Structure 1
Amino acid sequence: MDPGIPVPPELYGGHERLVHLFAEEYTRLGHQVTLLAGPDSRCSGDVVTFGTNDLQRSNIKKYKEVFFVWKYLSKTYNNFDLIHNFGRLIYLLPVLNKPVKKIMTYGRPVSHTGIKLANALPNKNLIFTACSDSCVSTGNVAGNWKTVYNAIDFSAYQINEIMASDAPLIFLGRLDKVKGVHTAIKAAKNTENKLLIAGNISHTSDNYTYFKNEIEPQIDGVQVEYVGPLNDAEKNRYLGQAKALLFPIEWDEPFGIVMIEAMACGTPVIGFRRGSVPEVITEGVNGFIVQNAEEMSEKISLLGTIDRNHCREVALNRFDVKIIAQQYLKVFND
């Protein structure tokens, strides 16, 4: 895993949380696991740390990280049956043509250049995976690709079966324009519902300006309330008390872990038909797929038709870490 955020993360860090979940599940199944990640990372197996936990670190530091991984894998690859890389593809360069099995996993849109180059070089036992069919389609220009969805530990989330009619809606995610929080506010106001907004305020100039100009003026603490970034316990509480998660994305989100976090609490999701949304939401079972703010507003009135127990059960059977870990092991065994 790339340095920058420790594994597991305290707040933001979807991929880092995934890596920790899989490391723990593989250890529980009896496998020997070594985690290679940034400082302060931990798991029940062995841990080797490198680099700096700083998302704004310099390119020089990133080059040093690559050299560290090259040196480490060149010395140790024979110790492993599988090298599962959630970090940069370039990390695998020294072992591309070694017999050790390798899974390269993507959770974001994929650069064609790196994929074509890796497959043009001599290589053995290299499988590419991505977290949705939508994400696979961005990189499937060469090599062997499979879809393996993202996961959460459903046992860490408690279902809230009974929902009051005046329960709030919730938006949870980075407060970037492409995440569509402005649309969530519009849908809440259209239907006279309270909206809880949770997530990190972006520090990029364009998204910070977007938050200050378009979002912050609408936060009144009454109908629209900002509750800040949430840790895992707070996510459980806030998602569980909401009648629905609004997911009005304006880009092709590769997966959107927050959707299954909501479903684990029994909370349905109303999401725009972009990226992985049609793969994650089962229409009328654990949410609704819509095209715009008007359709989102209409579906809010149908939330009472969704059985929150069934909402959780369907998602659990598809996205629990025990299910997804077995899918990765099947990729390895195949």
Structure 2
Amino acid sequence: MKILIVMDPGILIPVQGYGGHERLVDMFAQAYQQMGHEVDLLITNGSTVPGCRVYGYGKVGFPPTKKDAQKAIFTAWRFLWKRRKQYDLIHNFGRLLYLLPVLPFKVKKIMTYGREITSGNIRMIQRLPHRQLVFTGCSTNLIERAGVTGNWHTVYNAIQFNKYQLVPIVAVDAPLMFLGRIEKVKGCHTAIAVAKATQQRLVIAGNVSPLADEQAYFDTEIAPHIDGTQIQYIGAVNDAQKNEWLGKAKALLMPIEWNEPFGIVMIEAMACGTPVIAFEKGSVTEVVDEGITGFKVAHTEGMIAALEQLSEFDRTACRQHAAARFDAKVIAQQYLSLHASATPTN
């Protein structure tokens, strides 16, 4: 099968720093290729993926300017119209509008959402003649909150588990960890409160948001607690550092205050054998399997109580269970199964 993967331009692949969908695009391009398929990509100029043909469009720069974003739409339209008969499957991680030229044609299309879904765009597209169009969201919670109609499926995000090291046993005094962008909705202040209430160490990793109100949040609610001993801030981390710190953590704390579509950090922790203790919001209920890969709690007191259960936690079983659900090869096959079962809508 010949597959085209499309992504908004702006971030180079392979990703050097932060990357959301870009990491997934790189991962699934390689997974599809390993499964015997021919893979082309329409992604940022200068990007490379081993074994795949890359058609570069759009320059590096995130977020793109309004002019560059509009230019990308017309470039994608020309590309897809010209090659509409060359592909068996178009897997789109970019804007839904990119698919406009190929909507009525028999090429099978998967439109994947990893962030909030704009229902107005969905309704507009569904009023147009279309065939073989499947929508996916990275959690059922995300799809249900959007209240959209159409051929929708939940397909979770993934990681390559072979890039993460299992740490089957950690020391009794191993630290807790908070990993993510330091914004109020991510709940870093709650993680600090939990660490202090239980007299445990906490390692905080992640970049501080450049927004003024989030910088003020860091300055007033986070920075005053950082002492380098009990509460340690190590800044943004690369992939190797993330693997190291997650592996030696007692647990990953995720006291989110918003409905996060899918926190990849959860499965990154699980890949190291590290349990996730998270507030039941967004995708947490679906991703964390109680007592196996972590604990779902409703409030700060519940998070504190969950820490008392860690002495019996099986870190090896945690990784094995998570890999069976979220490894890149597993999720890639789920996407291709959608392609196999997709049926025309008109």
Instruction: Give TM-score, length-normalised by structure 1.
Output: 0.98
* 1:245 corresponds to 2:255: no
> Cα distance, 1:39 vs. partner?
2.9
Instruction: State the match for 1:12 in structure 2.
Output: 18
State how far apart, in whole Å, the 2-side matches of 1:286 and 1:57 are: 37
Instruction: State the match for 1:302 in structure 2.
Output: 309
* Identity %, equivalent residues: 53
Is the 8 Å Cα contact of residues 11 and 229 (structure 1) preserved in structure 2? no
Instruction: State the match for 2:226 in structure 1.
Output: 219
1:208-257 deviation per Cα after TM superposition (whole angstroms, max 9, x unaligned): 22112211121111111111111111111010010000011111011111
* 1:65 corresponds to 2:47: no
Structure 1 unpaired stretches of 5+: none
State how far apart, in whole Å, the 1-side matches of 2:77 and 2:220 are: 45
Matches within 5 A, 1:1-334: 1-44=7-50, 45-334=52-341
State how far apart, in whole Å, the 2-side matches of 1:107 and 1:195 are: 29
3-state DSSP of counterpart to 1:203: coil
> Cα distance, 1:8 vs. partner?
2.8
> Cα distance, 1:198 vs. partner?
0.8
Letter in 1 for 2:116: P
State how far apart, in whole Å, the 2-side matches of 1:59 and 1:183 are: 37
3-state DSSP of counterpart to 2:153: strand
Is the 8 Å Cα contact of residues 128 and 143 (structure 1) preserved in structure 2? yes
State how far apart, in whole Å, the 2-side matches of 1:15 and 1:260 are: 15
State how far apart, in whole Å, the 1-side matches of 2:226 and 2:216 are: 15
- What value does the CA root-mean-square deviation take over the aligned residues? 1.0
State how far apart, in whole Å, the 1-side matches of 2:157 and 2:175 are: 27
Is the 8 Å Cα contact of residues 115 and 139 (structure 1) preserved in structure 2? no
State how far apart, in whole Å, the 1-side matches of 2:104 and 2:223 are: 52
State how far apart, in whole Å, the 2-side matches of 1:201 and 1:54 are: 19
Structure 2 unpaired stretches of 5+: 1-6, 342-346
Is the 8 Å Cα contact of residues 153 and 320 (structure 1) preserved in structure 2? yes
Letter in 2 for 1:84: H
3-state DSSP of counterpart to 1:79: coil
How many residues are treated as equivalent by the alignment?
334
3-state DSSP of counterpart to 2:83: helix
- Shift >4 Å, 4+ stretches: none
3-state DSSP of counterpart to 2:148: coil
State how far apart, in whole Å, the 2-side matches of 1:19 and 1:140 are: 26
Letter in 1 for 2:26: H
> Cα distance, 1:287 vs. partner?
0.6
1:60-81 deviation per Cα after TM superposition (whole angstroms, max 9, x unaligned): 1110111111111111121110
State how far apart, in whole Å, the 1-side matches of 2:70 and 2:188 are: 36
> Cα distance, 1:140 vs. partner?
4.5
State how far apart, in whole Å, the 2-side matches of 1:193 and 1:31 are: 49
State how far apart, in whole Å, the 2-side matches of 1:95 and 1:205 are: 42
> Cα distance, 1:300 vs. partner?
1.1
